Structure 1
Amino acid sequence: MMTNSARYLRWIAGAGAVFFACGAMAADLKPAASAPAVAKDADAGSSPWQIRVRGLGVITNDSGSVTGVPGSDLSYSDTVVPELDISYYFTDNIAAELILGTTYANIKEDGVLGIPVGKTWLLPPTVTLQYHFTDFGAFKPYVGAGVNYSLFYNQSEKAGFHNLDLDNHFGIALQAGFDYMIDQHWGVNFDVKKIFLKTSWSADHDVLGPLSGKAKLDPWLIGTGVTYRF
């Protein structure tokens, strides 16, 4: 019959065996491998702000009239000017763009009278709402539509004319273009806009007296330049 001392020794020996077995199992266990870091999307965290600087060709529609003069017509000079636009992206696809620039037009009665009238400067701030296509990699085309408000200023008259004045006027703008992004921030841009702009004009002439009519400019704005996304 086993004595109490023998039972205690047997119990201690069994507990020690279990302890060392558990220690060996713990030593064999390897720490769980940490999950690989997920690469950050190159576009993630980029600013919603973007600017573009373009060289812009302004090509007008030569159309207009002198009230009460049958066969009259107006023509306007085409120009090349700098343009700045500022865009804000609400989502990857939807953006608003503010287009800033100024240009001038030489005005000529190009019908029965055939005489130069004068020159006016034009500030046409334009806001468009755009849809950007995002399925073509670095090539990012877009379309847009918006409103233009044309401010005519600093008018000057040719000989015989006085008090040349053109009314400020709202117009509708349509737009299409694309950015080709070289990297996350820099790209090149090509853009075409059509502004539907018709306004009233008036002037005094030394011989013909007061003159007035309609000036339909409807310019095409064709530009190319550099894009920077913050």
Structure 2
Amino acid sequence: MKTSAARLGLTAAILATLTTAPAFAYEAGDIIVRAGATNVNPNDDSSAVSLNGSAVAGSGVSVNSDTQLGLTATYMLDSNWGIELLAATPFSHDISGKGTLAGQGKIASAKQLPPTLSAVYYFDTEGAFDPYIGAGINYTTFFSEEGEGNFTGYDVKLDDSWGLAVQAGFDVQLSENWQLNGSVRYIDIQTDATISNGTNTYTVDVDIDPTVVSMMIGYKF
């Protein structure tokens, strides 16, 4: 009970500090740049894998997660609205068989970049905690595709993707210029994958649809 009370007291103290600390409001023309860890965690789903045009019953593929350096730049149109661009160092993903293809293990790998342009809205607050929401357009380009395991040497191609992106996040103002930032996004990413050795061609439609979580430090110019 004492531990729980202490935790509640600490939480209340932190919230009180955030809501009573001096506010450093954004203004039109402010530019905010951020950098930090960004994790792409696919909520993947796929069609059955087709071999030379015939579906392999019960088959599918999965895509693993990856963490890289995420970067954002935001230009404030006024005290509430801004335009944000998300960039990152390339994410690397392994593609593995599942269902009746689970025994194949890793079948391919690829890198991707997911630049995302969003409109963001900051809610009016009186303290150092500034929550916001946003929505925009994502373009994901895939490159360095390679066959793996039993598919080493196969040609691999993943089509680029356009999709919608939504997000929610917050800034904690540390000073007039420095801040901590956290955000979570959902991005609609779909791709058609082709793996071929000239004789056998495997195709599969993959909905990657990742949850993207970032923790960053930012600076306002």
Q: Give the TM bin, normalised by the shorter chain.
A: 0.7 to 0.9
User: Hey, what does 1:128 align to over in structure 2?
Assistant: 118
User: Hey, what does 2:37 align to over in structure 1?
Assistant: 55
User: Per-residue displacement from partner, 1:120-164 (whole Å, max 9, x unpaired)?
Assistant: 000110011010012242110000000000000011111442111
CA RMSD of aligned residues (A): 2.0
| Structure with more relative contact order (C-alpha pairs < 8 Å, separation 6 or more) | 2
Secondary structure in structure 2 of the residue aligned to 1:154: strand
Shift of the 137–108 alpha-carbon distance from structure 1 to 2, 3 Å rule, reads same
Mapped contact 1:179–1:188 kept (Cα < 8 A)? yes
Mapped contact 1:192–1:222 kept (Cα < 8 A)? yes
Alignment of 1:85 onto 2:67: no
Where in structure 2 are there 5+ consecutive unaligned residues?
A: 1-22
Query: What amino acid maps onto 1:84 in structure 2?
Result: L
Compute the TM-score of the two structures, normalised by the length of structure 1: 0.77
Where in structure 1 are there 5+ consecutive unaligned residues?
A: 1-40
Rounded to whole Å, the distance in 2 between the matches of 1:44 and 1:150 is 30
Shift of the 112–44 alpha-carbon distance from structure 1 to 2, 3 Å rule, reads closer
Q: CA deviation at 1:54?
A: 1.8
Aligned length: 189
Mapped contact 1:47–1:229 kept (Cα < 8 A)? no
Compute the TM-score of the two structures, normalised by the length of structure 2: 0.80
Q: Which has the higher strand share?
A: 2
Q: CA deviation at 1:206?
A: 8.3
Shift of the 43–75 alpha-carbon distance from structure 1 to 2, 3 Å rule, reads closer
Shift of the 206–112 alpha-carbon distance from structure 1 to 2, 3 Å rule, reads farther
Alignment of 1:214 onto 2:215: no
Mapped contact 1:62–1:217 kept (Cα < 8 A)? yes
User: Hey, what does 1:69 align to over in structure 2?
Assistant: 56
Rounded to whole Å, the distance in 2 between the matches of 1:44 and 1:218 is 32
Rounded to whole Å, the distance in 1 between the matches of 2:193 and 2:139 is 16
Alignment of 1:108 onto 2:100: no
Q: Identity of paired residues, percent?
A: 29
